[in-house]
Amino acid sequence: MHASACIPVRSCTATACIPASSCTAPGWLMSVTARVSWGKALSLPHQPPLVVPQVNCNDEDRGVLAGRWDNHYEDGMSPMAWIGSVDILKRWKDFGCQPVKYGQCWVFAAVACTVLRCLGIPSRVVTNYNSAHDTNGNLVIDRYLNETGEQEQRSKDMIWNFHCWVESWMARPDLAAGYDGWQALDPTPQEKSEGVFCCGPAPVKAIKEGDLQLKYDIPFVFAEVNADVVYWVVQRDGSQRKSTHSSVVGKNISTKSVGKDSREDITHTYKYPEGTGRQWGQRHPGERDVFAKLSEGANNGCDFDVFAVINNNTDVERVCRLMLCARTASYNGTVGPQCGMKDLLNVTLAPRAENSVPLRILYEKYGESLTQDNLIKVVALLTEYQTGDVVVAIRDVYIQNPEVKIRILGEPMQNRKLVAEISLVNPLAAPLNNCMFVVEGAGLTNGQQTKELEEPVEPHAEAKVRLDFVPRQSGLRKLVVDFESDKLTGVKGHRNVIIAPQPK
């Protein structure tokens, strides 16, 4: 799934299209037509919201995708397994416009982006890291921890490791001048807006300036990139200690660069830089800072270290308690079983000194409970005995999957057979069963191609397949690969291929 797909406004090309006559159920693909005048903003202030909510099926409107976040996808497709929105739209059409199972935020956003581009609306997918889900609109995300660093679910507020939505370029004649341009639209069903599961269009400029009274849903998107995070550490006697973090939300807001595979940082379009005096929320560093850093090589199947780095920025010695707790996690903030813990009752911090405390994370502890998001959440809880002050630091550790290697054999030329040799090494100490590679490339393959392996892949052995295909289009093309098995899922790889035109 090219979740961060981006195109230049002046060359909007549809990546998938369902003919209006091929589906007689919802009229949302048929009723919206647009002619784009390149170089000008598209004036469609009300039509995109009609499209976006029907990407999800929560309003029982025969929408395209059903969402699921509980890691149980046996009756459908894991959200991690998709490698393109075309296949999703085809399945929806072929099965009588019944919802396709399953999607999560990057899948909803990619499908919405494809449909909007089909309608001639310049669109791109945006990813926000450390994205806040503020359910009560107070711009504060309240998180509760006990004294051992374990989370207690007392609020519906969440911090997602990342969240994806769509930006579309259009005019906003329904608003005052100055709000044309990129508008945030979110098809992931989180909260209802005017009775339907939809968010936006919200002018990105209004989000940056804090114009929360404008349409549509600007307070919700504003909170996603600006909310403060308050950690309440609940003591055994029921009392609570407060630790506020004002600069952890809305990091590295990104989209795909135009014409290349690199990331383009667009954080500055959503918020002012810290230190300018115009950003929302200020970080007030305490006398003791604590943060977590990672050793090299957090690879799936391996043990690794996470370090709590503690700084004493005062001129006096401090004695603290340090609690480190690691749990497997999903990208939407929910946590699973514990996979590492350390409780140091007497950590002495010399004046102006820095201590580094390791926590060893063992594969035998995290392997069975690791979700398809490949995340481990590490909580560091530092309590000073003299004052009772508490400092909280949290780090999401991504467990790297093995590399999918792709070799192209033959001369890449239009209408001439090529061979792709695709391989992956099993990094685990157990065999992989039910292995398969799914391959797709626009202009390269005729839809998706699946190669199943007949035998299990033994520990540290190589899984390898060959795929024949005939490129039908010349130019720069991308071959995308997904690997699935019983123990490794959603492993992605891609290879750019330049196809020479067929000689005349």
Tokens (6 digits) for 154: 């007392």
pLDDT of 293: 67
Read off the DSSP letter of residue 500.
B
Q: Which residue has the tokens 């190589």?
A: 462
Nearest to 318, CA basis, from 382, 385, 381: 385
pLDDT of 143: 84
pLDDT of 50: 60
Beta bridge partners, 319, equal: 348
**pLDDT tens track for 171-225:** 999 999 999 999 999 998 766 555 566 787 999 999 999 999 998 999 999 999 9
pLDDT of 314: 85
Question: For residue 412, what are the contacts with CB-CB under 8 A and spacing of at least 6?
Answer: 418, 471, 497, 498, 499, 500
CATH 1.10.260.40: does it fit domain 405-499? no
pLDDT of 11: 28
3-state secondary structure 311-370: EECCCCCEEEEEEEEEEEECCCCCEEEEEEEEEEEEEEECCCCEEEEEEEECHHHHCCCC
Q: Which of 97, 105, 325, 435 is catalytic?
A: 105
Nearest to 322, CA basis, from 344, 355, 291: 344
Nearest to 169, CA basis, from 40, 360, 310: 40
Q: Which of 163, 180, 217, 373 is catalytic?
A: 163
pLDDT of 374: 95
Q: Average pLDDT for consecutive 10-residue bins of the chain (504 residues)?
A: 32 28 30 30 44 73 88 92 93 93 95 92 96 83 81 79 95 94 89 65 95 91 90 82 78 93 96 67 48 72 92 88 93 92 92 91 95 93 85 90 96 95 97 97 94 96 97 96 95 96 91
CATH of 105-113+122-270, picked from 3.40.50.2300, 3.90.220.20, 1.10.10.10, 3.90.260.10, is 3.90.260.10
pLDDT of 30: 27
Indicate the domain borders of the chain. 105-113+122-270, 288-398, 405-499
- Are the CB atoms for 134 and 227 separated by under 8 Å? yes
- Are the CB atoms for 182 and 167 separated by under 8 Å? yes
pLDDT of 28: 31
Active site residue 186: yes
CATH 2.40.40.20: does it fit domain 288-398? no
Nearest to 14, CA basis, from 456, 351, 442: 442
Residues in the chain: 504
Coil vs helix vs strand at 398: strand
Angle between helix 85-94 and 105-118 (nearest 10)? 80
Q: Which residue has the tokens 């005048």?
A: 37
Judge whether 288-398 and 405-499 match in fold.
yes
How many Å separate Cα 243 from the centre of its chain?
26
Query: How many C-beta atoms surround the C-beta of residue 439 within 10 A?
Result: 22
Phi then psi dihedrals of residue 52, to 5 deg: -60, -45
Question: For residue 50, what are the contacts with CB-CB under 8 A and spacing of at least 6?
Answer: 28, 31, 32
pTM: 0.82
Active site residue 105: yes
